[in-house]
């Protein structure tokens, strides 16, 4: 498998704190690469740099062989590097379909401010429908988000990413707050998607992580202490020592 995404020696400091301490690893084409580590390890800070929301102090980020370290979030999205939307960026009074249509338009530099949710832009309908179909939400296309169950909203977030035709998705806790049934459906969906779309996955549900991930990188205090397959990480002494032998402490 070839490398699609390369993170090289990334450093991010917040005053005295080194939140991202010389982080290096790569994500291969068609891979689910999980990023795990205890609370405060620096996972979100790292993802914010990968998506373009935070500027690293040192290091470089390459996507498909191109240096994207200085590119905006929108430019990265246009290249196919898309981060999952947080629930807060979903508009509750709009329907599922309208939210996906808006997501398609916003990062491409469209007239975000001018966009009227009641307007039907036919160029957006087809890709929006396709994305809703992919996540199993097509029956809820016209449901206002406010009336959707939590699990369905999380699926909608993913549809908003898929509608942008990503080559690599940055997913920050896609299973958070989901019921067992919703979670299993999401795991199955991510498995189906992964051969076409590479995924960098941050997730607290370790059963799901070890089931989904081709490889994992373990972050502790801003430093990557290990990268390897689920078996390698499970049996790694370095990882075990870092977690004091308590696997439930892993996240
Ligand atoms: P994780 O997502 O793994 O829980 P974070 O990336 O949120 O970890 O945080 C890593 C460390 O950086 C924590 O100690 C956190 O308090 C600190 N941190 C995160 N964002 C900021 C910020 N904007 N300013 C100062 N410190 C921050
Ligand atoms: Mg976090």
Residues of the chain falling short of pLDDT 50: 109-112, 118, 251
**Does 177 sit in the ligand 1 pocket, CB within 6 Å?**
no
Say if residues 38 and 220 touch (Cβ distance below 8 Å): yes
Find tokens 């898309």 and name the residue.
Answer: 82
Q: How far is CA 147 from CA 93, 125, 143, 158, 219, in A?
A: 9, 21, 7, 18, 37
Ligand 1, atom 24: closest residue by C-alpha: 14
- Residues 12 and 136 occupy one common structural domain: no
- Residues 198 and 237 occupy one common structural domain: yes
Domains held by the chain: number: 2
- Terminal-residue alpha carbon distance, the chain: 28
Say if residues 173 and 195 touch (Cβ distance below 8 Å): no
- Residues 209 and 234 occupy one common structural domain: yes
- Residues 158 and 186 occupy one common structural domain: no
Does residue 202 belong to any structural domain of this protein? Answer: yes
19 Cα: distance to centroid of ligand 1 (angstroms): 6
- Residues 176 and 233 occupy one common structural domain: yes
Q: How far is CA 91 from CA 64, 123, 156, 176, 235, in A?
A: 32, 21, 11, 19, 44
pLDDT tens per residue across span 160-201: 999 999 999 999 899 988 899 989 999 999 999 998 999 999
- Residues 69 and 110 occupy one common structural domain: no
Q: What pLDDT, on a 0 to 100 scale, did the predictor assign at position 110?
A: 47
Ligand 1, atom 21: closest residue by C-alpha: 14
230 Cα: distance to centroid of ligand 2 (angstroms): 21
- Residues 144 and 214 occupy one common structural domain: no
**Does 44 sit in the ligand 1 pocket, CB within 6 Å?**
yes
Question: Which residues span the domain enclosing 117?
Answer: 93-165
Q: What pLDDT, on a 0 to 100 scale, did the predictor assign at position 249?
A: 52
Find tokens 């020696």 and name the residue.
Answer: 9
Q: What is the pTM of this model?
A: 0.90
**Does 36 sit in the ligand 1 pocket, CB within 6 Å?**
no
- Residues 241 and 176 occupy one common structural domain: yes
Ligand 1, atom 7: closest residue by C-alpha: 44
What CATH number is attached to the domain comprising 61?
Answer: 3.40.50.300
Ordered DSSP codes for 30-97: T-EEEEE--TTSSHHHHHHHHHTSS--SEEEEEETTEE-TT--HHHHHHHTEEEPPPGGGS-TTSBHH
- Residues 140 and 189 occupy one common structural domain: no
């Amino acid at each position: 498998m070839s490398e699609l995404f390369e993170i090289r020696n990334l450093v991010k400091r917040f005053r005295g704190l080194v939140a991202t301490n010389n982080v290096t690893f790569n994500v291969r084409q068609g891979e689910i690469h999980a990023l795990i580590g205890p609370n405060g390890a620096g996972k979100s800070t790292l993802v914010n740099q990968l998506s373009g929301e935070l500027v690293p102090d040192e290091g470089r980020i390459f996507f498909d062989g191109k240096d994207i370290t200085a590119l905006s979030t929108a430019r990265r999205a246009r290249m196919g590097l898309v981060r999952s939307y947080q629930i807060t960026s979903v508009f509750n009074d709009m329907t599922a379909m309208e939210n996906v249509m808006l997501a398609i338009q916003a990062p491409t530099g469209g007239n975000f401010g001018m966009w009227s949710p009641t307007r039907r832009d036919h160029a957006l309908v087809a890709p929006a429908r396709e994305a809703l179909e992919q996540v199993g939400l097509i029956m809820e296309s016209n449901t206002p988000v406010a009336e959707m169950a939590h699990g369905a909203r999380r699926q909608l977030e993913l549809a908003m990413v898929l509608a942008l035709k990503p080559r690599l998705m940055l997913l920050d806790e896609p299973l958070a707050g989901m019921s067992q049934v919703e979670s299993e459906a999401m795991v199955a969906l991510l498995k189906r998607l992964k051969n076409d779309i590479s995924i960098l996955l941050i997730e607290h549900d370790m059963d799901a992580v070890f089931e989904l991930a081709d490889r994992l990188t373990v972050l502790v205090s801003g430093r990557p202490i290990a990268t390897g397959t689920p078996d390698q990480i499970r049996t790694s002494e370095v990882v075990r020592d870092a977690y004091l032998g308590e696997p439930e402490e892993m996240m």
